[in-house]
Structure 1
Amino acid sequence: MNTNTDELDLVWGLEAISKVIGRTVRQTHYMLSTGKLPAKQIGSRWVAERGKLIRFFMEDAA
């Protein structure tokens, strides 16, 4: 059985997400809290899929 969970590359935490997108923690927090980034908050931690973050910024640049 082929599942997508094998392909997920999750980025956990505000600091880690900010490093992936090349923004400050403060900028990243604003973008997450206003729903501008494709991520979810689970408890007090943010989680995002690395591929979705990269695609999100690639679409903006195009």
Structure 2
Amino acid sequence: MENDLTMIMGADKIANELGMTRRQVYGLIYAGVLKTVKLGGTVAIRRSSLASWVASLEAA
């Protein structure tokens, strides 16, 4: 897996990457399933972290 440090900023953009709604993304964040950080009050996640999470779901 490549080491991509690019950040995806905002629940809307994260939702777009995952093909789900903003509400679903917040549900995953609040449940502790999706690990994000807050940057200036905006949720963010590294593109590589998101890809790793999806890959772990595929492997399960």
TM-score by length of 1: 0.77
What does residue range 1-62 of structure 1 map to in structure 2 within 5 Å? 7-62=4-59
Large movers: runs of 4+ above 3 Å: none
Cα distance per residue 1:3-57 (max 9 Å; x no partner)? x8xx411000010011111211110011112221121123421010011101101
The number of residue pairs the alignment matches comes to 57
User: What letter is aligned with 1:56?
Assistant: W
**Normalized against structure 2, the TM-score is what?**
0.79
- Return 5+ residue gaps in structure 1 as ranges: none
CA distance in 1, matches of 2:17, 2:42: 16
Indicate the percent of aligned positions where both proteins have the same amino acid: 25
Moved more, 32-41 or 7-16: 32-41
Higher-Rg structure is 1
- RCO higher in structure (CA 8 A, sep ≥6): 2
